[in-house]
């Protein structure tokens, strides 16, 4: 069952234990603010509903990191107040589950996040942790006073996940500070499942932690990159008429293509490929054929909308490839013009746009010259996210 999952990133603290300077979530780590790495970690899992809790003084720099559909919430004086502010901000459109994560844990892995989500299928609360492996001492005045048994002890991590109504109720009933949201959940009587944490999922607290985190990120050369692929497929039958619109070019032919818009099968496939890479459905979702205003519409309207949507989400088009499948009309003489037209609409160098054609060896509906099919693939790239 698909779940509506929100992730709350808590980044409102001042982090004074990290030493003088900017609050730790805004310090540079391998070329980017710590919070940028944390946000990217959640985006890579496919979670799109992010709620970031910030200090009111930090709004401008936070807005520079967020995508249009991500929410900023002013935090409170203590962590518990900040989390509650985020939970209350979602009451109008409540998620099924909520993951609550420290903004200063930039190295959380998809496996840790998915592990928490998997546990929430069976439990109202779950949190990652790492078993304590070192010996534990109790000391006073610089001397060891005794050994503490480490059996059953864990080092807590985030994200800590909860069924949203349960943790909202727990926060509303809690009075005073808490070490984390698990403490608040337990006070409300919720069972919390322990899921596998990761040694790399460190919380940046003291100055040496930044050097350790930078070393872990070194292999990524200071660059965050999110790459998405999408594919599209479309078919239009022939009808009486003169000429076919293909990839933005009117190709002379003794028949036309049938469709609600101008029936540009190549451009439709490419548009759907972009929507697909963004997980935004297809043309029909954005331009319903039941809406008469799109009757006979030029397909460049659809393609330009898809490109703009990708831009709003922080992506650029790396390259695209369109294949037209038909016996006739012959595509070769027009392929360069189609390439140039698509590049113009998308704002790309023509060298990033491929248009080619093939036949189906006289097989199927295209082989019988009943219509034209098109396939398209696109690569979207988001860097420094």
Would you list the DSSP string of 227-266?
EEEEEEEEEEEEEESS-EEETTEEE--SEEE--SS---HH
Rounded to 5°, the CA angle 69-159-315 comes to: 30
Q: What is the pLDDT along the chain (385 residues), one digit of tens a residue?
A: 458 999 999 999 876 655 556 889 999 988 789 999 999 899 888 887 999 999 999 999 999 898 888 999 999 989 999 999 999 999 999 999 999 999 999 999 999 999 999 999 999 999 999 999 999 999 999 999 999 999 999 999 999 999 999 999 999 999 888 999 999 999 999 999 999 999 999 999 888 999 888 888 864 444 566 789 999 999 999 999 999 999 999 999 999 999 989 999 999 999 999 999 999 999 999 999 888 888 889 999 999 999 999 988 888 899 999 999 999 999 999 999 999 999 999 999 999 999 999 999 999 999 999 999 999 999 998 765 4
- Domain boundary assignment for the chain: 5-220, 225-383
**Rounded distance, CA 92 to CA 334, Å?**
52
Total residues found in the chain within this entry: 385
**Rounded distance, CA 317 to CA 382, Å?**
9
Peptide bond connecting 159 to the previous residue in cis, omega within 30 degrees of 0: yes
According to the model, what pLDDT value does residue 381 have? 87
Q: Copy the structure tokens of residue 293.
A: 């205003």
Residue with tokens 């293909």: 246
The values of phi and psi at residue 28, to 5°, are: -75, 135
- For domain 225-383, give the CATH number: 3.30.1330.50
**Rounded distance, CA 224 to CA 6, Å?**
22
Is the CB of residue 302 less than 8 Å from the CB of residue 287? yes
According to the model, what pLDDT value does residue 20 have? 58
Is the CB of residue 328 less than 8 Å from the CB of residue 368? no
Is the CB of residue 103 less than 8 Å from the CB of residue 9? yes
Is the CB of residue 144 less than 8 Å from the CB of residue 172? no
Interstrand relation of 28-29 and 32-33 (parallel, antiparallel or unpaired): antiparallel
Q: What share of the chain is helix, strand, coil (3-state, %, to 5)?
A: 35, 30, 35
According to the model, what pLDDT value does residue 218 have? 66
**Rounded distance, CA 170 to CA 184, Å?**
6
According to the model, what pLDDT value does residue 224 have? 60
Give the CA distances from residue 328 to residues 63, 69, 336, 357, 362, in Å, rounded to whole numbers and listed in that order: 51, 44, 17, 10, 11
Top CATH class, 5-220: alpha beta
Q: Copy the structure tokens of residue 239.
A: 């009808």
Q: Copy the structure tokens of residue 58.
A: 């930090």
According to the model, what pLDDT value does residue 383 have? 62
According to the model, what pLDDT value does residue 219 have? 47
Burial 192-218 (b: 16+ CB within 10 A, else e): bbebebeeebbbbeeeebbeebeebbe
Q: Copy the structure tokens of residue 278.
A: 């963004």
**Rounded distance, CA 86 to CA 195, Å?**
24
Give the CA distances from residue 298 to residues 4, 263, 302, in Å, rounded to whole numbers and listed in that order: 36, 8, 8
Residues 6+ apart with CB under 8 A from 258: 236, 237, 238, 239
> 251 has which bridge partners?
244
Q: Can you give the pTM of this predicted structure?
A: 0.62
Give the CA distances from residue 349 to residues 184, 243, 314, in Å, rounded to whole numbers and listed in that order: 54, 27, 19
Residue 298: left (phi > 0), alpha (psi -120 to 50), or beta?
Answer: beta
The values of phi and psi at residue 11, to 5°, are: -140, 40
């Amino acid at each position: 069952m698909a779940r509506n999952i929100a992730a709350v990133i808590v980044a409102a603290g001042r982090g004074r234990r990290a030493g003088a300077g900017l609050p730790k979530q805004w310090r540079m780590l391998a070329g980017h603010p710590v919070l940028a790495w944390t946000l990217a970690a959640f985006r890579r899992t496919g979670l799109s509903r992010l709620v970031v809790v910030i200090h009111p003084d930090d709004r401008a720099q936070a807005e520079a990191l967020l995508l249009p559909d991500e929410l900023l919430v002013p935090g409170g004086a203590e962590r518990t107040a900040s989390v509650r502010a985020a939970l209350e901000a979602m009451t109008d459109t409540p998620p099924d589950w909520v993951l609550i994560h420290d903004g200063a844990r930039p190295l959380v892995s998809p496996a840790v996040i998915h592990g928490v989500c998997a546990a929430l299928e069976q439990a109202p609360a779950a949190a990652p942790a790492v078993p304590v492996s070192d010996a534990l001492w109790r000391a006073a005045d610089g001397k060891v006073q005794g050994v503490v048994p480490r059996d059953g002890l864990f080092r807590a991590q985030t994200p800590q996940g909860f069924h949203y109504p349960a943790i909202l109720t727990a926060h509303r009933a809690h009075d005073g500070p808490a070490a984390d949201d698990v403490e608040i959940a337990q006070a409300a009587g919720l069972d919390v499942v322990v899921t596998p944490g990761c040694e790399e999922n460190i919380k940046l607290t003291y100055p040496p932690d930044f050097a350790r985190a930078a070393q872990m990120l070194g292999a990524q050369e200071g660059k965050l990159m999110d790459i998405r692929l999408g594919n599209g497929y479309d078919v239009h039958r022939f009808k009486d008429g003169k000429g076919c619109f293909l990839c933005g070019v009117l190709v002379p032919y003794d028949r036309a293509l049938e469709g609600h818009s101008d029936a540009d099968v190549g451009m439709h496939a490419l548009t759907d490929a972009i929507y697909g890479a963004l997980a935004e459905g297809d043309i029909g979702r954005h331009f319903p054929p039941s809406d008469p205003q799109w009757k006979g519409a030029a397909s460049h309207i659809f393609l330009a909308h898809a490109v703009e949507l990708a831009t709003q989400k922080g992506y650029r088009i790396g390259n695209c490839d369109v294949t037209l499948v038909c016996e006739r009309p012959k595509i070769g003489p027009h392929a360069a013009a189609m390439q140039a037209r698509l590049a113009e609409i998308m704002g790309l160098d023509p060298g990033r746009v491929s248009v080619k054609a093939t036949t189906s060896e006289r097989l199927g509906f295209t082989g019988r010259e009943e219509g034209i099919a098109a396939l398209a693939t696109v690569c979207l790239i988001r860097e420094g996210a």
